[in-house]
A and B are shown apart, each in its own frame.
Chain A
Amino acid sequence: MKWIFNHKPRISNRKSQIANPTPCWLALLVALTVALPCSANDSHTTFFMGRLLYGDNDGRDCSGVGHDLMELVSKTSTLQVQDERRIHLTDPALFDTPFVFMNGHYNFVLSDAELSDLRKYLDHGGFVFASGCCSEPGFPKAWRREFSRIFPHEEVRSVPPRQPDLPLVLQAGAYPVPGPTARCSIGRPVSSWQTGGRHVPRWPLLRL
């Protein structure tokens, strides 16, 4: 009989018992499992991670993070994913990439064009995952400031540990994976925007 497995399935509804949703590496790992089982060399694969180039950032902060993530996913699941692609915020390819990752150390400023594209990207269902590097305070501060410009009327707040409507990638904190090997400062509470009852979760960055 197929589809019967030894591991206990996880439940992601209101009745589910969700373990600690942090750390974010685990969440990111599950996000990466939102992918088709395909060869890393398969040009037709449906999943890849986009690495955002934004403002003055050239995408080289902690540059091995993307590769580490892919490797982690490959080791812990049957899924195979492509290597990350570097995408600028104003690149049309952004709208072909449903999952993007951004990180950095320092302060940054987004242009109006970048903000416009980012707003549309998020409104259309895109996911931005962000992480500050090496506990530098400049990046998280700049991130809150710049992302507040995307949704100026929305509030950034912490998400409760058992937030029922968190998206899959942030709910699966109990996913059985090896311990996180992040080089950057992670482990802060998951945050989200809330507007009119709609949660836009992020850690330290943005939403599914």
Chain B
Amino acid sequence: MIAGIYFELPLAWQIGLPAVLFLVLAAAWFQARRGVAKTRVLALAVLRGAALLALVGLVARPVWVTGRGLAERGSPVVVLLDRSQSMAVRDGRQTRFEEALHFLNSKLLPSLSSAGLPVRLMLFDQSAVAVNAHRLRSTSVNGKRTNLGGAIAKATRNSPHPPLGLIALTDGIANVRTDDQAGLAALAQAGAPFVGIGFGADEGAPTIWLRNVNAPANVPPNAAFNVSVELDSNVPQLPAFDLVLLRDGKFCQKKRVPPRAGPRTWREEFVVTETQAGKHDYSVQLLPPATDGIKAPALVGDAIVRIAAPKPIRVLYIQGALTWDYKFTGLALANDPSIKLTGLTRTSDKSVFRQNVESAAELIHGFPTTLMALKPFRVVVLSNLSPADLSAAQQEILARFCQLGGGILMIGGPSTFDASWRNSRLEQILPVRVSSNPEGASPYHPFQIQLTPQALHSPIFQFGPGVSAAKAWAQLPTFRRYARVDSAKPAAQVWMLHPTDKGPHGQRILMASEHYGAGISAVLCLQNFWRWRLAKDADPRRFDRFWKQLFRFLADAGRPNVSIQVADPDLHPRMDVSIVLEMEAGSGTDPDSQAAPAPNGRFSVRVTDAHRKTVLEESVTLAPGHPTEFKFHAANPDTYSVSVLDSSKAVVATRAIRIRERNLEFQDTTRNMETLRQWASASHGFAVKAEDCTDPAWLISRIRAKREQTQHKAYLRQPLGMNGWSMGLVLGCLGGEWLLRKRWRLE
């Protein structure tokens, strides 16, 4: 054991020692001249000198240096032998374990013995255990994991003497990293070099691997969808094999995959049509070819699909009086089950007519008087209403409805956009300011609708591939009557303009929209818009398509569409699963348009296991085009549900993730020398391929050389600055000197 005190500032001694001698001697000389007894002068000089020397020593920054954990005579060489499943791979005539065992018995152990070095043998996989040499042959090579760091830590700490060195006979495939820090610390403390001897082949064993199974998270009933399987193989000539699709554990389909040549990653697909609503587990099982030696680390993958009919968008069409627009809008939506139109029409002063209500009680009292009554609807259309038809409370309900994500469309001519709406609560949420004279002074003339450039690029106004929006809209019939609104609000997006009529703020606006809270409001200031569908030369399908797109835009613009994607391709228990959340732009909005973007929102993410126990719950902020990542720890093989909830705790998106155990040992069977080099470099050791290690004597000499090199560097430095002892020494000496002077009556 090497130990001693060193001074980081020896200059302090070079200056301080003469100074202390001078001061002490000078004081003694003066006292002697005054006739103080020599014994007293000597005692005082000793105390003063000791205190001053202690102070000089502190100034010189003393450090206690010790060689730590250094091997002593009798320290063993620890040999770690890998017995994980990957060591059972047969690269040549023998398995890797057999090769390692042969190397150990025929070369390494004799060399260590002849060098007079004691040996400690340990077998390791996910754990490490000491073993006698004669029991090695009966060892089963079936470890499910490889924890090299844990084996190093255990070998180093459990040894009575710090090992002279560690020699690992392994393929370097370490798939448990949790104990790596402990292993590094143990190596550093022991100062023992790590020597990795790599067994196996650099190209790995022939492997076919089912990487993952993908399917859409939500599918409507009776709709065909794909269950895709991602496969990976490094087999030069892969024979034909089978894939079996199981639905909720029962056979569903089987697929024969033809022979393939060369390593590759590819995808196979099953086309499935599901009729039964609910959550279904589609698992794909790989039946590997019977050819000997082909390993399959993962044979099964899962995708959980929720089969549910999409909730239709319900549109409440409120009319102050019956209009033809309602009828033709209803015709436009007649064959679209995803949008359901409900009519509420005032037919006289004391009667309303309800159409397509869901229950006898729905809207029984006419226009809703509570926000709850509007909850089933995602869009409200207002037509032919005047402020006298809606109380202030009802207007406030509409405003709240829009604020919380609903869509509002006001459609009609001058009677709809009546001047009496000015400064009303409803006008506050509209994208335009109502004019004091919607009829205007000038007479009406037939005109063609003019779309703004933003509208020409917006999906709302498109009619399918190959159809020019500009040309198609130019073919609409002419209109005559329209409401003259005053101007657009600052955040409004104008979609349609009158081609010739100009108001105080430019061309008259015929259609505009604006985000209000989480929802969107829009106006269509055209009377008799239905004429488009009835017109002789019109294509009614375009009219129908426009209304469907407009309603989807109004319904979805304020409704977040959040996608949940699993970032990690290979899922297994005991890992942190990375999930990416992304809020997509509203389905009716064009991300390239200059329309106001959907508002950002705060959401919460909840991950639960199969027993509905919450694994993780945290809040996230999502914005379109800005993916957000979070992780949860999948401790066990289980089905985890990831749900995104909005501020009202309503589920916005959900996805189920099934995590199974997989055989990581065969995930990549290539000999991993890099892992061994990293461990070696951290401990002044080295790594070498087994085929390059022909002379074990050379190996042992290198271990010794590395050990000595390590010993020179392995010092523990402990500062010895001011502490209780040094303070006690200084104060004791000075106090004693003061007491003696007082006692002897000396100044």
Contact = CB atoms under 8 A, between A and B. Distances in A.
Contact of B538 (A4, A33, A124): A124
A74 to B, nearest CB: 11
Contacts of B534: 95-96, 98, 121, 124-126
A194 B622 CA distance: 51
B324 A34 contact: yes
Interface stretch (B5-13, B255-263, B387-395): B387-395
Q: Is the interface of A mostly helix, strand, loop or mixed?
A: loop
A120 interface: yes
A125 B531 CA distance: 10
B329 to A, nearest CB: 10
A168 interface: yes
A153 interface: no
B394 A36 contact: no
Interface in B307-342: 320-324, 327-328, 331
Contact of A98 (B348, B359, B530): B530
Interface stretch (B365-373, B635-643, B666-674): B365-373
B364 interface: yes
A46 interface: yes
A19 interface: no
B321 A35 contact: yes
Interface string B351-373: 11111111110011111010000
Interface residues of B, number: 48
B211 interface: no
Interface string B523-542: 00001101101111010100
B283 to A, nearest CB: 39
Contacts of B487: none
B322 A3 contact: no
Given A9-B354, A95-B535, A124 B540 contact: yes
A12 B360 CA distance: 10
A66 interface: no
A162 to B, nearest CB: 15
A13 B350 contact: no
Most chain B beta-carbon contacts within 10 A, residue among A2, A15, A33, A94: A2
A98 B324 contact: yes
B592 interface: no
A37 B540 CA distance: 27
Contacts of A181: none
Nearest to A78: B348
Given A9-B366, A11-B360, A33-B322, A2 B353 contact: no
A96 B480 CA distance: 12
Contacts of A3: 346, 352, 365-367, 389, 394
Contacts of A1: 369, 391
A170 to B, nearest CB: 13
Interface string A97-122: 01000000000000000000100110
Contacts of B328: 98, 125
Contact of A15 (B331, B350, B359, B533): B359
Most chain A beta-carbon contacts within 10 A, residue among B352, B358, B530: B352
A101 B533 CA distance: 20
Contacts of A10: 353-354
Contacts of A47: 324
Contact of B347 (A33, A92, A94): A33
A34 B346 CA distance: 10
Contacts of B691: none
Contact of B351 (A7, A34, A98, A124): A7
B250 to A, nearest CB: 35
Contacts of A12: 353-356
Interface residues of A, number: 42
B415 interface: yes
B349 interface: yes
A191 B346 CA distance: 28
Interface in B641-689: none
B365 A15 contact: no
A2 B350 contact: no
Most chain B beta-carbon contacts within 10 A, residue among A3, A7, A11, A34: A3
Interface string A1-27: 111111101111101100000000000
Interface in A71-91: 76-79
Contacts of B327: 34, 98, 125, 168, 208
A46 B536 contact: no
B384 interface: yes
B706 interface: no
A96 B531 contact: yes
Nearest to B535: A95
Nearest to B332: A125
Nearest to A77: B348
Contacts of B145: none
B355 A168 contact: yes
A1 B535 CA distance: 40
A168 B531 CA distance: 20
A46 B540 contact: no
- The 9 A-B residue pairs whose C-beta atoms are closest, nearest first, are A3-B366, A3-B367, A5-B350, A34-B322, A95-B536, A7-B351, A12-B355, A77-B348, A37-B321
13 contacts: A3-B367, A5-B349, A12-B353, A35-B321, A35-B322, A47-B324, A78-B321, A78-B348, A78-B349, A79-B347, A79-B348, A98-B530, A124-B536
Given A4-B365, A124-B536, 8 more contacts: A2-B389, A33-B347, A34-B323, A36-B415, A46-B324, A124-B534, A124-B540, A125-B331
Interface of B: 320-324, 327-328, 331, 346-360, 363-367, 369, 384, 388-391, 394, 413, 415, 481, 527-528, 530-531, 533-536, 538, 540
Interface of A: 1-7, 9-13, 15-16, 33-38, 44, 46-47, 76-79, 92, 94-96, 98, 117, 120-121, 123-126, 168, 172, 208
